[in-house]
């Protein structure tokens, strides 16, 4: 079993990465969580986690069954009992019993003092799985800026750019985050976050589809199918929709935002790395952008790599 797990708690989806006996162990699920209410679940089997005695429902079953769950974008979510339940869900479902956990804070919220405070908060939690078994919390907890995992996941294979000036673009579900590294050091004042994640595209496609065909499923997998193929089939009925204009409009917006932010960075930028689940929507936006491998898991994988190096030091 590995000693480190990287957990990327995104506003839309949570991803984790670790190794067990040399085999990758990954987990991804919607960051959907709410206090458990048996009278609301209508017999649906939903994974639960107890945080300091309070029971929470976590994961995709809430979304699939149309059950209510919290707004993770709200101020105060990070560090709340609901946030802790998401971490507990990851530790429970990966069966992680190692030494270190690395996760992130949104770059605009990140401060060293806040990271240390959150680390201490996590250490004090008492997690119990749905069978009543305590979930061990790693003895070492590191909190680094969201998006920096993309940087660490890339330099592990391309160490030559570690000492360069690198801008990192993280396109998530709700937000587009930008962080900057110079000589391997995170430059706190150069970070920014913009409310223009991939959800903008998904919502616009839902709106257009509804105008053409009427009501439409909220399933993101169907949206992905329409983006890739311009159509999807349901019970033998094919529904086609040209969404190229929506995608192009989003690309222009992302392109403009990145260029604008580049102008505010005081040092010359040598490389621009891009990752996050929404990267496929703008792969060709800027010729100078380097898309990282496995963009959806890049943050979690980079957190894992950071944890490995931290333990070595």
Q: In CATH, what number is assigned to the domain containing residue 245?
A: 3.30.420.40
pLDDT of the residue at 31? 95
d(CA 231, CA 268) in angstroms, rounded, equals 43
pLDDT at 162 over 80: yes
pLDDT of the residue at 37? 78
* Three-class secondary structure of residue 126 per DSSP: coil
Q: Give me the DSSP letters along 29-74.
A: EE--EEE--HHHHTT----EEEETTEEEEESHHHHHTT-----TTS
**Mean of pLDDT values over 153-182:** 93
Q: Are residues 305 and 210 in the same domain?
A: no
Burial class, 208, CB count within 10 angstroms (exposed 0-12 / middle 13-18 / buried 19+): middle
* Three-class secondary structure of residue 171 per DSSP: strand
pLDDT of the residue at 285? 47
Burial class, 162, CB count within 10 angstroms (exposed 0-12 / middle 13-18 / buried 19+): middle
Q: Are 186 and 178 in contact (CB under 8 A)?
A: no
Grade residue 117 by pLDDT with cuts at 50, 70 and 90: very high
pLDDT of the residue at 81? 97
Q: Is the dihedral of CA 74, 56, 48, 46 positive or negative?
A: negative
Per cent of the chain over pLDDT 90 is 58
Q: Are residues 9 and 140 in the same domain?
A: yes
274-289 pLDDT per residue, tens: 999 887 776 554 567 8
Q: Are residues 140 and 212 in the same domain?
A: no
Q: Are residues 176 and 218 in the same domain?
A: yes
54-91 pLDDT per residue, tens: 999 999 988 888 888 998 988 889 999 999 999 999 99
Nearest one of 178, 196, 192, 179 to 278, comparing CA atoms: 196
| Residue with more model confidence, 164 or 74 | 164
d(CA 67, CA 65) in angstroms, rounded, equals 6
Q: Are residues 207 and 197 in the same domain?
A: yes
Q: Are residues 285 and 301 in the same domain?
A: no
The chain-wide mean pLDDT, for the chain, equals 89
Q: Are residues 49 and 169 in the same domain?
A: no
209-240 pLDDT per residue, tens: 888 888 766 678 888 888 888 998 888 888 89
Q: Are residues 298 and 269 in the same domain?
A: no
Q: Could you tell me where the DSSP H helices lie in 124-198?
A: 148-155
Q: Are residues 45 and 64 in the same domain?
A: yes
CA distances to 46, 252, 255, 260, 270 from 263, rounded to whole Å, are: 47, 17, 13, 5, 13
Would you give the distance in Å from CA 256 to the centre of its chain?
23
pLDDT of the residue at 103? 98
**Mean of pLDDT values over 254-271:** 87
Q: Are 290 and 158 in contact (CB under 8 A)?
A: no
| Residue with more model confidence, 41 or 22 | 22
Grade residue 42 by pLDDT with cuts at 50, 70 and 90: low
| Residue with more model confidence, 293 or 6 | 6
Q: Are residues 71 and 174 in the same domain?
A: no
d(CA 249, CA 237) in angstroms, rounded, equals 29
pLDDT of the residue at 262? 84
pLDDT of the residue at 112? 92
Q: Are residues 194 and 277 in the same domain?
A: yes
For the chain, what is the domain count?
2
pLDDT of the residue at 220? 80
Question: Residue 234 sits in which domain range?
Answer: 160-292
Q: Is the dihedral of CA 275, 102, 21, 51 positive or negative?
A: negative
d(CA 195, CA 185) in angstroms, rounded, equals 26
pLDDT of the residue at 8? 97
d(CA 7, CA 92) in angstroms, rounded, equals 13
| Residue with more model confidence, 63 or 51 | 51
Q: Are residues 11 and 151 in the same domain?
A: yes
């Amino acid at each position: 079993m590995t000693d480190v797990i990287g957990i990327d708690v995104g506003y839309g989806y949570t991803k984790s990465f670790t190794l067990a006996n040399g085999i990758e162990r990954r987990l991804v699920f919607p960051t959907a969580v709410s206090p458990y209410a048996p009278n609301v679940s209508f017999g649906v089997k939903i994974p639960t986690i107890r945080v300091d005695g309070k029971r929470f429902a976590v994961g995709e079953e809430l979304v699939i069954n149309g059950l209510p769950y919290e707004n993770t974008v709200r101020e105060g979510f990070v560090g709340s009992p609901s946030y802790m339940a998401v971490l507990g869900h990851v530790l429970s479902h990966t069966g992680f019993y190692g030494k270190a956990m690395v996760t992130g804070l949104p770059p605009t919220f990140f401060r060293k003092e806040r990271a240390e405070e959150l680390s201490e908060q996590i250490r004090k939690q008492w997690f119990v799985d749905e069978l009543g078994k305590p979930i061990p919390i790693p003895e070492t907890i590191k909190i680094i800026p969201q998006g920096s995992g993309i940087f660490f996941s890339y330099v592990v294979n391309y160490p030559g750019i570690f000492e360069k000036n690198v801008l990192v673009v993280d396109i998530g579900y709700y937000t587009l985050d930008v962080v900057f590294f110079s000589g391997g050091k995170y430059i706190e004042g150069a970070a920014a976050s913009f409310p223009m994640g991939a959800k903008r595209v998904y919502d616009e496609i839902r709106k257009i589809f509804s105008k053409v065909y009427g009501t439409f499923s909220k399933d993101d997998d169907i949206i992905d199918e329409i983006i890739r193929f311009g159509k999807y089939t349901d019970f033998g009925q094919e529904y086609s929709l040209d969404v190229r204009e929506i995608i192009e409009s989003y690309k222009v917006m992302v392109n403009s935002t990145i260029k604008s932010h580049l102008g505010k960075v005081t040092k010359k930028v040598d490389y621009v790395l891009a990752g996050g689940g929404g990267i496929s929507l703008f792969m060709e936006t800027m010729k100078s952008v380097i898309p990282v491998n496995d963009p959806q898991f890049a943050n979690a994988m980079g957190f894992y790599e950071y944890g490995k190096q931290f333990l070595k030091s």
